[in-house]
Structure 1
Amino acid sequence: MFRFPMFPTSSPRIRRAASVALLAAGLSLSAFAQADEFVLQSADLHEGDTVPGLHLLPACNGGNVSPALEWKNPPAGTRSFAVTVFDPDAPTGNGWWHWAMVNLPAATTGLERGAKPPAGALQLRNDFGAAGYSGPCPPPGKPHRYEFTVWALKSDKLRLDANTKAALGGFMARADALGHATITVQYGQAK
């Protein structure tokens, strides 16, 4: 049994009351810490859910429209953002990049559905060879996970150009990140 040296009494009632008070204080601090957590939210995507058709590739009867994304509470010192979409389950051995947008200004708090890059931002070449968003459409079989991530960066700009591949942009965003927030969703086609 844990003993509180600051309480000279051996009364179980006082020890229990002190334990409850310390536990409540710890929970309050935990809730306070989580209130300022860097988070990514979406009106279109929800953690663990299936990707809606609007955001799939046309080959999967989709509209190939990027989802609405919104973030809040970035880490102190954030000078720009990057947004990536990565499929770690693609049968390539190193995943598949569906989207990378970098150099979003620090004042940016989200992207609208079907968003074009704001002034100064840059869309990189995804693994389909396109600059911009290309939605999920995995081969038939087990569902794939899609990680929609916003990266809070310590640099104003990542030194990249329009021909840069999303994989390099993702690597550089991770290396420059002060923090990140992710929504992971899934999609699969029956065999």
Structure 2
Amino acid sequence: MSANAPFARLPEAASFTVTSTTVRDGDAWPPEQFSSGVPGGKDISPQLSWSGGPDGTKSYAVTIYDPDAPTGSGFWHWAVADIPATVTELPEGAGDHTGSGLPEGAFQLPNDVREARFIGAAPPAGHGLHRYFVVVHALDVESIGVPADATPALLGFTMAGHTLGRAVLIATAETPA
């Protein structure tokens, strides 16, 4: 993980593994994972599988964050909380408007366009390569206790004291000028 990772200043946490049939670590997002506002984009959340969560894990959360967005605060594309510890996979498309692929008890928080769903990549044309941190957070509580309308930033703040481990996959995207 690079020194400028979004959580470099957070408390240390154990590492475990996240993989995807949608995108490999370090590779570019396929067109379906781009925003529907981009030609070919469909706002389809990636398939994710994880293993090796630390002992004591009682739930998971998943976040997708672009620290390279030209906002001063990055851009949150997806946040899912309260995934039961027995769940170790989300199917592609789980982050639709209804959360149809999420396990019982899990919920999506509004992203930075204030919609509780996955929104795909859409880096500004000519802005350069953007990194998308796909992170599975292993937590020591069954419910993180944030309201469903909380921001992903509040979720991250609340998770900081409950994170046992993080599994990280980094996808990329770039829109030519």
**If the TM-score is normalised by the length of the shorter chain, which range does it land in?**
0.7 to 0.9
SS in 1 for 2:168: strand
Tell me, which stretches of 5 or more residues in structure 1 are unaligned? 1-36
1:94 and 2:80 aligned: no
1:117 and 2:95 aligned: no
Shift in Å at residue 101 of structure 1? 0.1
Aligned to 1:41: 19
- Given residue 59 of structure 2, which amino acid in structure 1 is its aligned partner? S
User: Runs (4+) of structure 1 moved beyond 3 Å?
Assistant: none
Matched pairs, number: 156
1:136 and 2:121 aligned: yes
User: Please, what TM-score do these two structures have when normalized by structure 2?
Assistant: 0.85
1:168 and 2:154 aligned: yes
1:126 and 2:111 aligned: yes
> Relative to structure 1, is the Cα distance of residues 140 and 134 closer, same or farther in structure 2, using a 3 angstrom cutoff?
same
Shift in Å at residue 181 of structure 1? 0.6
1:180 and 2:166 aligned: yes
Alignment of 1:79-90 (within 5 A): 79-90=58-69
Aligned to 1:159: 145
Structure with the greater relative contact order (CA < 8 A, sep ≥ 6): 1 or 2?
A: 2
1:72 and 2:51 aligned: yes
Shift in Å at residue 171 of structure 1? 2.5
SS in 1 for 2:137: strand
Alignment of 1:4-83 (within 5 A): 38-61=16-39, 62-83=41-62
- Given residue 139 of structure 1, which amino acid in structure 2 is its aligned partner? P
Whole-Å Cα distance in 2 between the matches of residues 49 and 174 of structure 1?
A: 28
Aligned to 2:6: none
